[in-house]
Amino acid sequence: MNFSKSPRWTRRQALWLMTGAIAGASVHACAKPSEAPSAQSSATSAGAGSASIGITTWIGNTPLHIAQEKGFFKDLGLDLKIKVFDTVAQAFPAFTSGQLDGLAPVTSEAVTLASKGVDFKVVTVEDTSVGADVILARNSIKSIKEFKGKKIAVELGGIGHFFLLQVLAEAGLTGKDVTLVNTPPDAAAAAFQAGKVEIAYSYSPFSDQAIAAQKDGRVIYSSKQMPTAIADLYIFSSKFVQANSKAVAAFVEGNLKGVEFLKTNREEGLKIGAAKLKIKPEELDQQLKGIQIPDKATNVAMLGDANSDQYLLKPMTKLAEFLKAQGQITTVPDLSKVLEPQYVTAMK
Segment 86-123, tens digit of pLDDT: 778 789 999 999 999 999 998 988 999 999 999 999 99
- Please report the sign of the dihedral spanned by the C-alpha atoms of residue 173, residue 1, residue 202, residue 15: positive
pLDDT value for 110: 94
Q: Say if residue 58's pLDDT is above 90.
A: no
pLDDT value for 3: 57
- Please report the sign of the dihedral spanned by the C-alpha atoms of residue 314, residue 317, residue 321, residue 327: positive
> How far apart are alpha carbons 330 and 321 in whole angstroms?
10
Work out the pLDDT band at 7, boundaries 50, 70, 90.
very low
Q: What is the largest CA-CA distance in the chain?
A: 62
pLDDT value for 61: 95
Identify how many contiguous H helices and E strands the chain contains and give both numbers: 15, 11
Which SS3 state, helix, strand or coil, does residue 219 take? strand
Q: Which alpha helices (DSSP H) does 29-99 contain, by range?
A: 62-69, 72-75, 88-96
Segment 150-160, tens digit of pLDDT: 999 998 877 78
Q: Say if residue 239's pLDDT is above 80.
A: yes
Higher pLDDT among residues 44 and 292, named by residue: 292
Q: Global pTM?
A: 0.78
pLDDT value for 34: 37
Q: Say if residue 5's pLDDT is above 50.
A: no
